[in-house]
Structure 1
Amino acid sequence: LFICDVAALQNKFGRNVMFDSSVYINTEMVLSLDMIPYVASRIMDIVCAAQGQFKKCLILDLDNTLWGGIIGDDGLENIQLGHGLGIGKAFTEFQQWIKKLKDRGIIIAVCSKNNEETAKEPFVKHPDMVLRLDDISVFMANWDNKADNIRQIQSILNIGFDSMVFLDDNPFERNIVRENIPEITVPELPEDPGEYLEYLYDLNLFETVSYSKADADRTKQYQVEAQRVSLQKVFANESDFLKSLDMMSEVRGFDKFNIPRVAQLSQRSNQFNLHTIRYTDADIERISTDNHYKNFSFTLSDKFGDNGLICVVILEKQDEETLFINTWFMSCRVLKRGMENFTLNTLVEYARENGFKRIIGEYIATPKNKMVEEHYQNLRFTPLTDATRNLFVLEIDTYEIKECYIKKKL
């Protein structure tokens, strides 16, 4: 069940616009004809969110976007922020909206042409700042091209550009980013900062259909990921880096504690998703009690912190000898850590213990999951001849345990 907040539309347009008595009398439809496109748009936002098509990251300029004035020229005391009357109030309420997005699991990043130390000063020292450094997952402040900095942010976050929104008051900077990264959403902010919020409310860019504790922890997880990226540069080879992380994974089936997160991850995972099936809580609960399936959830933690539940596999028992990978999706936050090898080792261990002789996988292409196009070949599955499907088989008897540096949590 998903709720469309038509009351918010009525608050915006008024009851007289929302309701037309002649339409109601003749059709029993409670919406006026003028309101149908607005309600339909909000419903489609929910449908798209349920299908994994939603925005995950908000990238912010700073000067005259997050506060009034230019911090490098005006100084800390003279930037415009505050709860009193005037333009400072508009920027403060804009930050309050961003803070709510962050608390809902939207990733907040900064991309500003500034000296980093100067740019961070308001977050640390200004009493009227709502946002603090702890709210920012990735902070990029330098004098490089903003499109290049956004590419750097994307490489750290490991999400698609089409999942990002960039806000900047400067039309020149907006156009530079649009021209160089066409996939990113760059709203045409009004000239008056007092109109920012109403304009963004109408766009409804950050619709979501689910929320979990993992959302509240997401900012911290990406801050930690930035630390991992920095650590990796110290090591001469990847193996030594992975060993140094002291990674652990808890492997569990589906239960009442992780079902909401499993369903949510299915809705959020687009790039590492072999089948791209979207599940609701009810779907996962049904599968968890069906003996025709064997389900796995994987967490991942290391010396920097806990990533939470990051991978899900659902095996379908086709016959006494064959398992079919009905579903395999994983958070892109944990790519290049060996999780794919650890997961497959776990699946093969289950197959051997229960007398299965082969595992079959399938790749169904979507516009967003090209990164896993050769996933099964890379894991040494053999392609099967099929004119209509991309099927691959792994023979259990010949499988050799793959090297990885993740230990199973007992």
Structure 2
Amino acid sequence: MKVFSQIRKNLKNDFSNLKTVKVALLGDSATQFLNQAIRGLGYDRGFDLQIWEADFNQIELQITDPNSELYEFEPEIIIIFQSSHKLLGKYNKLKVDQHSQLCANEMHFLSHMVDTISGQSKAKIIYYNYTEIDDTVFGNYSGKIEMSFLYQLRKLNVELMNFASATANFYLCDLSTIQNLLGKPNFFQTSVYINTEMVLSIDALPYVASRTLDVIGALQGKFKKCVILDLDNTTWGGIIGDDGIENIQVGTLGIGKAFSEFQYWIKKLKNRGIIVAVCSKNTESVAKEPFEKHPDMVLRLDDISVFIANWENKADNIRQIQSILNIGFDSMVFLDDNPFERNIVRENIPEITVPELPEDPSEYLEYLYTLNLFETISYSNEDTERTKLYQIEAQRASVQQKFTNEEDFLKSLDMVSVVESFNKFNKPRVAQLSQRSNQFNLRTVRYTDDDIDTLMADPDTYTFSFTLEDKYGDNGLICVIILKTESAETLFIDTWFMSCRVLKRGMENFVLNTIANFAKENGFAFLKGEYIPTAKNDMVKGHYEGLGFHEVDGYWELDVNNYEQKITHITKK
């Protein structure tokens, strides 16, 4: 982690080629240095964060005034920092019989503020939870008496989580965890607070900024989707080829416990939807043996989406994993105990994240916890099936190699697609896919559940979701189209994004056939598309031209009345 002085040096760099995001920062205490830390660290994460900072303790004034500088700035993200120290001040001013109402009062105020923002802005809200202050008035009895400050503070953090889970466009950033990590003396320094109204120490600022950027990055579609594991001395202790299956270290005894706990963490990531792959210098049959036969292994072969074990260069093997998964290298994390292998991968694939694992395996997990590598802003039931989906994709890739003719391979898949408008059942997956799709995304517009509700209610908007299933399995919802009425004769393709899992299956042709038919049947003469370039979507730069659209004034148009249906081996179900 960079220290604050290093982060602040980034402010002198050229931000002009970075993605611009407008951020408003409101706090009840001094936030000038926090502003600098967030913007400076944003440079390292690839963002030009244009931050408007409210004056000290102006949260309510800025939010409730519809003509305030906040709304004039038109932020995409609003960060709200209400500190535990100011909260303690409110508690101290309450009458004794009102102390037990502190949490309810704050949640009522927060709900009103969020509703007010939603009425004035489409901005996403990042809200810092509360760090703990134990005033020791009741000692350990604080946990049993509702009127104590510590009871109210802890209750407030729980209610914040409940509120966040039920509120669209509202995301928590966990300051409490950072204070636990650093220790309160390092997180908060009394002399600084008394003299400057800063509740975050200089040492804490990089950590707070990092967690804040994790959420901002996720809101902008930057996710880690895959963890790639080395095996020997990373997933288990020892070298399977030399020590044999009976002598590797895994289980409940000694250092084996550290590796088992590491595997439990990987298993939880897999259950959450993170793709797990293996890249090991080993003979494949030997490398697979512990997964198949060792009684203490937590991970099994059915937890692994792609398993590559050979004696080739690991960077080349990771490229093979990437080609099967069809995700960006910047979405991947590679874990290996060997510094030499880590450096080889870093030098050859600079986009991939390669943590510098500690020498002592017992420290792996605590170190990885601090990195918060797998931030997310959404979760759906389909996430739990992701490993199976990619295992099936690896099977398809293997079968495809046996076909000399691609058309014959596509015919053999027996592909079918369900085409539906957005509804309450597919809405969570549509929102999630919009957040995660970066490469095959023509305009890269992100949607929350709340945004999708608005689209569904708009009579001039037409929505389409596409699934894809074949004889090997069901890929689920993999493509989204949003059409908007631009004129009496033109439909604008506001959104077209698709999962890279299904590239080269003819889905683009099937989708265009579907929306061209829809336009024609509803009296429209033209489909109009737009490509907005980003750092990641270069692969669809020629998308519309390749489908037969013609460029007109920077846009792409298709005459649907003269459109000839494209050949596709996908059947509408």
* Aligned equivalent of 1:394, options 542, 555, 558: 558
The CA distance in 1 between the partners of 2:264 and 2:175, in whole Å, is 23
TM-score (norm 2): 0.69
Q: Specify the code of the residue in structure 1 equivalent to 2:498.
A: M
Q: Any idea what SS the aligned residue of 2:376 has?
A: coil
Deviation at 1:25, TM superposition (A): 5.3
* Matching residue of 1:189: 357
Deviation digits for residues 282-310 of structure 1, max 9, x if unmatched?
Answer: 11111111112111011111111110100
Report what 2:320 is aligned to. Answer: 152
Q: Which runs of 5+ in 1 are unaligned?
A: none
Change (3 A) 1:265 1:31: same
What amino acid sits opposite 1:56 in the alignment? K
Q: CA deviation at 1:115?
A: 0.7
Match of 1:2 in 2: 171
Which of 232, 241, 266 is the matching residue for 2:434? 266
> Percent of aligned pairs with the same residue?
71
Alignment match, 1:17: 186
Residue 30 (structure 1) shift: 4.7
Cα root mean square deviation, aligned: 1.4
- AA paired with 2:322? Q
Could you report, residue by residue, the CA deviation over 1:151-179 in whole angstroms, capped at 9, with x for unpaired residues? 11111000111111111111111111112
Does 1:334 find its partner at 2:502?
yes
Question: 353-362 or 169-178, which moves further after superposition?
Answer: 169-178
Q: Does 1:77 align with 2:246?
A: yes
2:538 paired residue number: 370
Q: In the TM superposition, what is the alpha-carbon distance from 1:26 to its structure 2 partner?
A: 6.0
Aligned amino acid, residue 83 of structure 1? T
Who is 2:34 aligned against?
A: none
- C-alpha distance in structure 1 between counterparts of 2:421 and 2:201, whole Å: 48
Deviations 1:48-104 (A, max 9, x none): 0111112111111100010100001001111011123x2111111111111111111
CA distance in 1 between counterparts of 2:172 and 2:475 reads 29
Matched residue of 2:324: which SS?
helix
Aligned: 1:301 with 2:469: yes
Give 1:187 shift: 1.4
1:385 aligns with 2:553: yes
For structure 2, the residue ranges without an aligned partner over 5 or more in a row are: 1-169
- Is 1:58 aligned to residue 227 of structure 2? yes
Higher Cα Rg, which structure: 2
User: In structure 1, what is the equivalent of residue 445 of structure 2?
Assistant: 277
| 1:287 equivalenced with 2:429 (yes/no) | no
- Structure having the larger proportion of residues in helix: 2
1:352 to 520, 527, 551: 520
Match of 1:11, SS state, is: helix
SS, match of residue 296 in structure 1: strand
Secondary structure, aligned partner of 1:323: strand
Alpha-carbon deviations, 1:295-331, whole Å to 9, x = none? Answer: 1011111111110100001001001100000010000
1:307-360 Cα offsets, whole Å, 9 max, x none, are 010000100100110000001000000000110000001101110110000000
Alpha-carbon deviations, 1:116-153, whole Å to 9, x = none? 11000111111111111011000000111111111111
Q: Could you say which residue in structure 1 is the equivalent of 2:120?
A: none
Q: Secondary structure at the match of 2:173?
A: coil
Q: How does 1:98-113 map to 2 (within 5 A)?
A: 98-113=266-281
Distance 2:408 2:196 in 1: 70
SS in 2 for 1:231: helix
Q: 2:336 aligns with which of 168, 173, 182?
A: 168
Aligned equivalents of 2:520 and 2:534: distance in 1? Answer: 32
Task: Return the match for 1:241 from 399, 405, 409.
Answer: 409
Count of equivalent residues: 404
Question: 2:217 & 2:226 partners in 1: Cα distance?
Answer: 16
Match of 1:128 among 292, 296, 300: 296
Separation (CA, whole Å) in 1 of partners of 2:472 and 2:176: 44
2: distance between equivalents of 1:98 and 1:292? 45
1:43 corresponds, among 187, 193, 212, to 212
- TM-score (norm: length of structure 1): 0.96
